[in-house]
Structure 1
Amino acid sequence: MTSALALSLVTVPAVQAAEPGAYWTPERMRAAAPLDIRTAPASALRASVPTGEPTSVAPLAIPNGGSPWTGGGAVVATAGRVFFTYQGRNASCSGNAVTSGNKSTVITAGHCVKLDGAYHTNVAFVPAYDNGNAPYGTWNARATFATPQWHASEDINYDIGAIVVGQLNGQSLTDVVGAQGIAFNQPKAADTYAFGYPAATPYDGTRLIYCSGRTFNAFLSNGIGMTCDMTGGASGGPWFRSFSEATGTGTLNSVNSYKINFFPNWMFGPFFGADAQNLYNQAQAA
């Protein structure tokens, strides 16, 4: 159901570091706790009728999903870690730079910008994060966005967020790292690659991890699912259709969002429909 509420623009609070990278030292980045992937029992979801069993899942690099990405290409620079302060502790998610009018837009999960009724502070994006190193710099957020449904009630069906970063050394984000395309209202079943920086066991947040397979209609929500064992910290990482391993490019069509208690080897993401498109349009115009 499409909400008539306006999208909520939240300006990053004054506690944000004044200079790029000043707050997020390598030590703080390494110590940031991975924000959990939402683990959703059926009773916690504002759901439509469940949509059935997965129809097919392609073979993966390891039985449950994730492997280090060694293919290179554009995704190495467009994907990165999202850092922020949540309830007084430093935490992390994942995100990806997309084509945008302001050349400064990162797409992530809604719970990576707002959770438990409050928007995060000290939000920053570190593309191509490498074990505390920021080869393309640390990009401080100047505004964060969430879908109306996530803003109002943190509805898992609309767990989508956007971060607009400021310039760094007089340059805009996607002029430096490149950008991936983004699409909306696409068929739910597609060959898909998911990326992220999982930092909870058995991962440690130091490397870009990926899963690949065919998506299926999600259980308990209007989203999509795939076989993937990525853990906390991967939230907000991009899902790409039409992904080329040769070039590392694809079309972003969802993000890592939640898991279900009884299916730990499946990851679920929100459907990118009209609300996601409105979110993107408002963020890229900021």
Structure 2
Amino acid sequence: MATRRPLDGNTASPEQLVAEMVEWTTEDFLAAEPYPLPEITETMLSDYLDQLASPSEKGGSFLPGGPPSPVDDKDSKDAGLLAGFPYPPPFNQHEVLVPYTTYPYCTIGKLFFKQGTGSYVASAAAIGKNGIWTAGHCVHSGNGQPSGWSTNLVFVPGYKDGAAPFGQFTMKQLFCRTNWYQKGNPGGLFEDMGAAILNPLNGRMLSQVVGWLGFAWNFPRNQIWTSLGYPAAPPFNGMRMFQDTAPYANDGAVPGSPSPIGIGCSMTGGCSGGPWVLGLGSTNRVNGHNSYRPNDQPLEIYSPYFGDNAHSLMQLVVQ
């Protein structure tokens, strides 16, 4: 029996038995609400201003991704001064027009889950074996309680217009950073990171079916990312995948260190947990995700900075 890595600042849910899962129907998919993208206000942050800290960064590490199994390079590292942009920062956003069943888009999908009394949708990405990456608020409400865990979570890679071309992958166990679990919004937003181990489907691991994205951590902030996800709150409807290419804009003003990273983006609720990819179509490395936005800045979105904390959480679901 394999030994699970120590949690190291992460928190795990109880394992969910397959027998406890209830299959999501097409009607369930359509009835689920977009999970509200967490927002912050100056009032919420006023009690935390003295806790703000400078970002902590190292040289940069990564693991490669890979395409799916048959059925039977180098990212830019700008070590100079941070450039950034005033609000609204630049971005190029559009619907994904290539087939979602092609790599790397097939690694990205829609997340369906229940939290409290609600049924919600968000976004996630395959990161190896049966592991997926998403936002912490998609797997736990951040209330510090065992009752805050999401339940009946399924990942639908390549979802489009209600169709599940690769099927539904059900959850086995959920994980998030302990700071998110205990502090929520806004105190835990700097570690609003979530991950899950899924059950194989028809005897095949998720990575065998759709492949997986690589993973990068401790990289400089001056990068250009492609953010992907399924925005579902107006003016979007959650039926299609969108992508947003944008450079570093600024650091997030929330408590905790390292500070989150902001880019230009107008995606709405439902995009939560969608990956920020370095080198989309080439190196394909997850280096952030859609986490939150200031409530008065709808053209900006933030991700936790991916340091050793992100790597620690990632290892729990792919090793």
With the length of structure 1 as denominator, give the TM-score of the two structures: 0.87
Displacement of 1:71 after TM fit?
A: 3.6
* Long gaps (5+) in structure 2: 1-6, 56-81
Check if 1:32 corresponds to 2:32: yes
Partner of 1:55: 85
Find the aligned partners of 1:229 and 1:196 in 2 and give their Cα distance: 11
Partner of 1:76: 105
Partner of 1:265: 299
Structure with max Cα Rg: 2
Find the aligned partners of 2:176 and 2:151 in 1 and give their Cα distance: 14
Find the aligned partners of 1:259 and 1:41 in 2 and give their Cα distance: 9
Find the aligned partners of 1:257 and 1:53 in 2 and give their Cα distance: 22
Runs of at least 4 residues off by over 6 Å:
50-53
The equivalences for 1:169-184 within 5 A come to 169-184=202-217
Give 2:132's aligned amino acid: V
With the length of structure 2 as denominator, give the TM-score of the two structures: 0.78
1:227 and 1:266 in contact (8 A); partners too? yes
Specify which structure has the higher proportion of strand.
Answer: 1
Find the aligned partners of 1:13 and 1:30 in 2 and give their Cα distance: 24
1:199 and 1:234 in contact (8 A); partners too? yes
1:12 and 1:121 in contact (8 A); partners too? no
Higher mean C-alpha displacement, 213-222 vs 144-153: 213-222
Give 1:225's aligned amino acid: G
Partner of 2:66: none
Find the aligned partners of 2:299 and 2:54 in 1 and give their Cα distance: 18
Displacement of 1:110 after TM fit?
A: 0.1
Partner of 2:149: 119
User: CA-to-partner distance for each residue in 1:21-71, whole Å, 9 max, x for gaps?
Assistant: x5211110111100011111134355625889933898544xxxx310114
* Long gaps (5+) in structure 1: none
Quickly say closer, same or farther: Cα 1:187–1:86, change in 2 above 3 A.
Answer: same
Quickly say closer, same or farther: Cα 1:234–1:9, change in 2 above 3 A.
Answer: same
User: CA-to-partner distance for each residue in 1:250-286, whole Å, 9 max, x for gaps?
Assistant: 110000000102211001111011111111112223x
Partner of 2:181: 151
Displacement of 1:13 after TM fit?
A: 4.2
Quickly say closer, same or farther: Cα 1:43–1:276, change in 2 above 3 A.
Answer: farther
Partner of 1:168: 201
Partner of 2:316: 282
Structure 2 counterpart SS, 1:264: coil
User: CA-to-partner distance for each residue in 1:220-257, whole Å, 9 max, x for gaps?
Assistant: 0301111100000000000011223xx6x611000000
Partner of 1:8: 11
Find the aligned partners of 1:156 and 1:60 in 2 and give their Cα distance: 23
Find the aligned partners of 1:270 and 1:168 in 2 and give their Cα distance: 31
Partner of 1:188: 221
Structure 1 counterpart SS, 2:167: coil
Find the aligned partners of 1:201 and 1:96 in 2 and give their Cα distance: 23
Identity of aligned residues (%): 30
Partner of 2:249: 216
Find the aligned partners of 1:17 and 1:211 in 2 and give their Cα distance: 38
Find the aligned partners of 1:253 and 1:142 in 2 and give their Cα distance: 24
C-alpha RMSD of matched pairs (Å)? 2.3
User: CA-to-partner distance for each residue in 1:65-112, whole Å, 9 max, x for gaps?
Assistant: x3101144413210001110111121011000013xxx0000000000
Find the aligned partners of 1:146 and 1:116 in 2 and give their Cα distance: 9
